[in-house]
Structure 1
Amino acid sequence: MKKGELTINYIIVLILALIVLVTIAIIFRQQIGNFLSSINAVSNPISGDQLTKTTEELLK
């Protein structure tokens, strides 16, 4: 093997590692998006109309 030459095995390992990293990044991106949507849903303020309607339903 000459100096500076990459073996086929090394290139294959690099390609597989890159595929794994991209897959993990996609999974975490989706999970973070779901988490942020949940946080947004919980933290949205309740309007006066919604509060009145909910209170009336609870008192029935």
Structure 2
Amino acid sequence: MEPTLRLSGARLEGALRGRGGTLVTPGINLYATELNRVMIGLDLWRGADGVRATSFKAMFQLAF
């Protein structure tokens, strides 16, 4: 088991000015073997305009 955390930010200019925001993705990797895992994460978006959104994701990595 391995915890993960990703932080991302965007600031747009020009015609899209003010549409940036911050994305925080906490998650966890669950390993079956050294190279095979299930990755579970939750995206937490907060836009510069105050809009908030969330997204759940599960990904699989298989190596054979």
Tell me which interval the TM-score lies in, with the shorter structure as reference length: under 0.3
Larger Rg: 1
Q: Which has the higher contact order (CA 8 A, sep 6+)?
A: 2
- Could you say which structure has the higher helix fraction? 1
- Normalised to the residue count of structure 2, the TM-score between the two structures is 0.21
> What TM-score do you get using the length of structure 1 for normalisation?
0.22
